[in-house]
Amino acid sequence: MASQNEGLHAVLSEEEQAGQAYFDKIIAEDSRIEPRDWMPESYRKTLVRQIGQHAHSEIIGMQPEANWITRAPSLKRKAILMAKVQDEAGHGLYLYSAAETLGTPRDKMTEDLIAGKARYSSIFNYPTVTWADMGAIGWMVDGAAICNQVPLCRASYGPYGRAMVRICKEESFHQRQGFEILLELANGTPEQRAMAQDAVNRWYAPSLMMFGPPDEDSPNSKQSMAWNIKRFSNDELRSRFVGMLVEQVKVLGLELPDDQISYNEDTKQWEHGPLDWEEFKDVLKGKGPCNAQRMERRRAAHEDGAWVREAAAAYADKQAQKAEVA
Residues that bind ligand FAQ (CB under 6 A): 49-50, 53-54, 57-58, 61, 65, 88, 119, 121-122, 137, 141-142, 145, 148-149, 209-213, 218-221, 224, 230, 234, 284
Beta strands in the chain, from DSSP E residues, in sequence order: 262-264, 269-271
Q: Which is nearer to ligand FAQ, 197 or 291 (CB)?
A: 291
CB of residue 232 to ligand FAQ, shortest distance in Å: 10
CB of residue 11 to ligand FAQ, shortest distance in Å: 24
End-to-end CA distance of the chain: 53
User: Could you tell me what percentage of the chain is helix, strand and coil, using 3-state DSSP and rounding each to the nearest 5?
Assistant: 70, 0, 30
Q: Which is nearer to ligand FAQ, 99 or 196 (CB)?
A: 99
CB of residue 213 to ligand FAQ, shortest distance in Å: 5
CB of residue 10 to ligand FAQ, shortest distance in Å: 27
Q: Which is nearer to ligand FAQ, 231 or 302 (CB)?
A: 231
CB of residue 69 to ligand FAQ, shortest distance in Å: 13
Phi, psi of 112 (to 5 degrees): -65, -40
Q: Which is nearer to ligand FAQ, 277 or 315 (CB)?
A: 277
Q: Which of 87, 126, 92 is nearest to 109 (CA)?
A: 92
Q: Which of 108, 93, 32, 27 is nearest to 59 (CA)?
A: 93
CB of residue 123 to ligand FAQ, shortest distance in Å: 6
Q: Which is nearer to ligand FAQ, 159 or 212 (CB)?
A: 212
- Tell me how crowded residue 308 is: count the other CB atoms within 10 A of its CB: 9
CB of residue 151 to ligand FAQ, shortest distance in Å: 9
CB of residue 204 to ligand FAQ, shortest distance in Å: 15
Q: Which is nearer to ligand FAQ, 32 or 213 (CB)?
A: 213
Q: Which is nearer to ligand FAQ, 65 or 133 (CB)?
A: 65
Report d(CA 140, CA 3) in Å as an integer.
39
Report d(CA 289, CA 63) in Å as an integer.
14
Q: Which is nearer to ligand FAQ, 58 or 100 (CB)?
A: 58
Report d(CA 146, CA 169) in Å as an integer.
9
With 0-12 / 13-18 / 19 or more C-beta atoms within 10 angstroms meaning exposed / middle / buried, residue 14 is exposed
Report d(CA 18, CA 85) in Å as an integer.
45
Report d(CA 239, CA 86) in Å as an integer.
30
Report d(CA 245, CA 252) in Å as an integer.
10
Name beta bridge partners: 33.
157
Chain residue whose CB lies nearest ligand FAQ: 61
